[in-house]
Each structure stands twice: as C-alpha cells, then as structure tokens.
Structure 1
Amino acid sequence: MHPPKIQTYDVGAGVNVDNKGVRRTVREYRRTSFGLYMSREVVGRASASWIESWLLPELGIVVSDWTWNPGHERDQDFYLDIARVEPGEPTWRTTDLYLDVVVRTGQWSELLDADEFVAAVATGLLDPATGEWALHRATEVVTALAAHGNDLDAWLDTRGITLTWEGHGAARAG
C-alpha cells in the first residue's frame, strides 16, 4: 500500500513534480477564478502521450483528459481524482485520496479504487477525518454526475465552471 500521492504544480517554473520527485515540463498553465489548468506531454508511459488537467479546489477534484496511444485507448472521456487541492503562489499542490471517478459523457460514471481507499484508511495512511471528507466528495461527485445525465460539463455549468481544453485529448474544445 502506497501513501497518498502528492504532486506540485509550479506555475512560475512551468513544471509539474510528481510524488517521486520527477519534474515534467508543462506546456501551459492557466489560472481561472475556479481552478488551474495544466497541459503537458506524458513521458515514459507506453499507454498515453498527453494529459490535460483541471485542478478544482472547491470541488475537491482533479479532472483529467488523457491522449491515449494507439492500442491503449480507453472507453472514457474524463478521469476524476478525488483530491485535496491547495492553491498557491506560484505553486499548487494536490494530495490524491485514492478514490477516482471515470466518466463516459451521457452514458455512465464509475467510482474506482474503493479497495485502495478502504485499505488506506484501515492502515492509517489516511486519517479518519480525511477519509470521511474524501468519501463525501466522491459521493457528491457521482450523485451530481448522475443527476446531470453523466455529463461533466452540464454539472459544472450549474457551479459556474466552464472547462476549456487545448485539444490533445478527445476532440472537444471549450
């Protein structure tokens, strides 16, 4: 069992640093009133070539759109990490809380990694208060998506949030 994954997003330096300390150059950072957008190449991963993510602190999620390499395509439009998102100047930080939601727009949403989440709480990698917060966030996200026909954009629109994408992932732009 691994501890929660912590990433930093150094807007000033134009880098994203993963939980292992690996620094990756970011093509674009964009701040908005509701979050931070990041777009960068995926290096050293056979399944994907690009990732675009929105860090949304008030919702406790990181929304990602992956560009999959041929033969590795996945039947999903968005991947949502339930996370503590901490805005900063110039560096943002996320702590992944194990639970994830995969969305296929207009079709379904699925909660993933409940087993990892339960193990993290049981072994003390997540304290009970953080675990409860993460579980509430995941429940609220899945419920909101279901109430909006599994349409992430429709749900976020009710919150005054419009996500725009550079276009490396699925062929859509905001």
Structure 2
Amino acid sequence: MHPPKREIFDLDAMTNTDPKGIVRSVDEYRVEPWGLFMARPTPGRAQFHYLESWLLPALGLRANIFHFNPGYERDQDFYLDVGDFVPGPSQWLAVDHYLDLVVRCGRETELADVDELLEAHRAGLLSAAASELAIRRAATAIDALAGHGHDLNAWLSATGMPLTWHDPNGDTHA
C-alpha cells in the first residue's frame, strides 16, 4: 500500500510536481476564491493526452477532466479525488485520501477505491480522523451531485463555485 499521494502546484514556475516527483509544465493556472484551475499536457501517458483539474479546498475535492486518447475512452464525465487541498500564495499542495468519485452526468456518481482507504488506514498511513473526513466528504459530494442530477457544474454553480473548462460542456474528448 502506498502512502497518500502528494502533488505540488507551483503557480510562479507554472509547474505541477506529480506524486512520483516528476515536474510537469502547466499551460494554465487560474486562481478563484473557491479554488485553483490547472490545465496541462500529460506526456508519456498512453490513456490520455491532456488534464484539466479544479482544486476545491472547502469541499476537499479535486475535479478532473481527462482528455482520452482514441481507444482509451472511459464512461465518465468527471473524476473527483477526495483529499486535502491547501492553497498558498505561490504553491498549492494536494494530498490524496484514496477515495474517488466517477461522475456520469445525468446518470450516476460511483464511489471508488474504498478498499484502498481502508487498507491505508489499517496500515497506519491515514489516521482515523482523516479517513472519517474522507468518507464524509465523499458522502456529501455524492448527495449533492444526486440532488443536481449528477451534474458537477450545476451543483458547484449553485453553491457559488462556477467552474469553467476548456470544453464548456465538460465532455471528455480527444
């Protein structure tokens, strides 16, 4: 079992240091009162070629759109990571807490990787308090998404956090 994945978002350097320590060049950062938007290419990834993310500290969520390569498309509109997202003046820090939500707009939201969260807690990699908070954040998000027709943009717009994406419909595309 791996420890919680950590990432650094360096606004000044226009880089994103991924959990493996690889520094990636970022095309765009945008800071809003409710979060941080990042858009960057994903060189070396067979499954997808571009990533858009919103870090939403108040919700403990990172919302992602993966721009899949042909043949690797997935039945998802958004992929949400649950964790801690800490803003700073020039750097933001993300610590993943294992749980993920797969949002299929208008249809459903699927909770994933519960087994990883439980295993990480058993292994002492995530405290009981952090594990409970991750579960609460996921449950809150699932409830809110269900109340908005499993539409991430509609939910967050209703809470005063309008998200914008390179693709205004939020659809994944190559």
> TM-score by structure 1 length?
0.95
- Aligned pairs for 1:96-107 (under 5 A) are 96-107=96-107
Question: CA–CA distance in 1 between the matches of 2:141 and 2:91?
Answer: 26
Map of 1:139 onto structure 2: 139
CA–CA separation in structure 2 for the residues paired with 1:45 and 1:125:
28
1:171 CA displacement: 6.6
Q: Are residues 1:39 and 2:31 paired?
A: no
Relative to the length of structure 2, the TM-score reads 0.95
State the number of aligned residues.
172
How far apart are residue 147 of structure 1 and its match?
A: 1.3
**Cα displacement (A) at 1:170:** 2.4
Partner of 2:89: 89
Give ranges in structure 2 of 5+ residues lacking alignment: none
Q: Which runs of 4+ in 1 moved over 4 A?
A: none
Shift of 1:36: 0.4
SS of 2:115's equivalent in the other structure is helix
Q: Kindly report the root-mean-square deviation, in angstroms, between the aligned alpha carbons of the 2 structures.
A: 1.4
Local SS of the residue matching 2:97? strand
Q: Distance in 2 between matches of 1:99 and 1:171?
A: 21
Deviations 1:82-130 (A, max 9, x none): 0100000100000000000000111111000000011011111101111
Distance 1:73 1:93 in 2: 29
Return 5+ residue gaps in structure 1 as ranges: none
Identity %: 48
C-alpha separation between the residues in 1 aligned to 2:14 and 2:133? 30
Alignment partners' CA distance in 2, 1:121 and 1:158: 34
Q: Letter of the aligned partner of 1:142 in structure 2?
A: I
Deviations 1:64-83 (A, max 9, x none): 00100000000110000001
Distance 1:77 1:167 in 2: 11
Q: Which amino acid aligns with 1:37?
A: F
Aligned residue in 1 for 2:127: 127
Query: 1:21 aligns to what SS in structure 2?
Result: coil
Distance 2:25 2:151 in 1: 31
- Name the CA distance, whole Å, in 1 between partners of 2:46 and 2:80: 21
Q: How does 1:42-61 map to 2 (within 5 A)?
A: 42-61=42-61
